[in-house]
């Protein structure tokens, strides 16, 4: 049945559906998404969706892989750059992540939710690339603060960048912010976070040093 057809048209329709699926899935999550919503959003008939992608699940997996790639794609190249300082890396991650999420505000909640629901997606993505554990970034941190597990700092950095987007709906309400003011705050954070991370990395050790928590490097 399904042929390759004219490449341009083919790609266009297929892409249109995938685009719509990306939008609806990220907004409502897998379970709350109806294939009819996607079809409607794409301006096509429901059957066409299954014609192109066989099933909701298959379509979702395509979208998910793309979103995961987007979400973690910011990190990978920076973390393993041996030619930049730790400070530069922090600046780069904060800046790129915040820009990315301003353009894709629902990405973090979507990825975190669906990774929890279907860890296998995330596992498949990471099983090939062990980019993180042996990364230059973590080594640079470990060198500076051998007393604290380096993931403390990575998680803190990501939390400072991403968490505001996660609590954005709540924040807009309780802080009485408008959309524009929120974006401005996030842009401010591109400058604030590197300063803060620097300060955090400089703090005096407070943890008991009973166990040696240094990574195997």
Partner DNA sequence: TCAGTATTTAATCAATTGATTAAATAATTT
Partner DNA sequence: AAATTATTTAATCAATTGATTAAATACTGA
Q: Distances in Å between the alpha carbon of 12 and those of 47, 49, 58, 147?
A: 17, 13, 19, 54
Using the rule CB under 8 A, which residue among 206, 209, 210, 212 binds a second copy? Answer: 206
Which of left, alpha, beta for 2 (phi over 0: left; psi -120 to 50: alpha)? beta
Told to check if 19 binds DNA by CB under 7 A, we report no
Q: Which part of the chain contacts a second copy (CB under 8 A), choosing from 17-25, 57-65, 83-91, 175-183?
A: 175-183
- CA–CA separation, 197 and 29 (whole Å): 33
Q: Give the distance between the most distant pair of CA atoms in the chain.
A: 67
By CB under 7 A, residue 143 contacts DNA? no
Q: Rounded to 10 degrees, what is the CA torsion of 200, 201, 204, 205?
A: 110
Element (H, E) at 4: none
Q: How far is the CB of 168 from DNA (least distance, A)?
A: 26
Which residues inside 134-173 make contact with a second copy, applying CB under 8 A? 148-149, 151-152, 155-156, 158-160, 162-164, 166-167, 169-171, 173
Nearer to a second copy, 2 or 204 (CB): 204
**Cβ atoms within 10 Å, residue 37:** 18
Interface map 80-109 toward a second copy (x if CB under 8 A): --------------------------x--x
Contacts of 125 (CB under 8 A, 6+ apart): 65, 68, 69, 72
Q: Using alpha carbons, select from 30, 85, 32, 84 the residue that is nearest to residue 59.
A: 30
Measured from the CB atom, is 13 or 156 closer to a second copy? 156
Q: How far is the CB of 200 from a second copy (least distance, A)?
A: 5
- Give residues 21-40 in contact with DNA (rule: CB under 7 A): 33-36
Please state the closest distance from residue 10 (CB atom) to a second copy, in A.
32
The residues that touch DNA, with contacts defined as CB under 7 A, are: 1-6, 9-10, 13, 33-36, 44-48, 50-51, 54-57
């Amino acid at each position: 049945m399904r042929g390759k057809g004219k490449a341009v048209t083919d790609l266009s329709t297929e892409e249109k559906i995938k685009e719509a699926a990306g939008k609806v899935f990220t907004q409502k999550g897998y379970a709350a998404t109806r294939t009819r919503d996607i079809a409607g959003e794409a301006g096509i008939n429901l059957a066409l969706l299954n014609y192109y992608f066989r099933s909701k699940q298959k379509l979702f997996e395509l979208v998910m892989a793309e979103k995961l790639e987007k979400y973690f794609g910011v990190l990978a190249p920076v973390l393993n750059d041996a030619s930049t300082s730790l400070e530069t890396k922090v600046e780069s991650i904060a800046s790129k992540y915040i820009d990315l999420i301003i353009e894709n505000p629902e990405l973090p909640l979507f990825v975190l939710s669906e990774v929890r629901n279907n860890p296998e997606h995330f596992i498949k993505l990471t099983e090939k690339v062990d980019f993180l554990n042996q990364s230059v970034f973590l080594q640079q941190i470990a060198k500076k603060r051998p007393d604290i597990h380096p993931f403390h700092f990575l998680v803190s950095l990501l939390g400072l960048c991403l968490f505001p987007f996660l609590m954005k709906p709540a924040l807009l309400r309780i802080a009485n912010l408008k959309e524009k003011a929120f974006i401005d705050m996030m842009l401010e954070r591109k400058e604030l976070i590197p300063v803060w991370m620097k300060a955090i990395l400089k703090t005096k050790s407070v943890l008991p040093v009973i166990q040696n928590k240094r990574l195997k490097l």
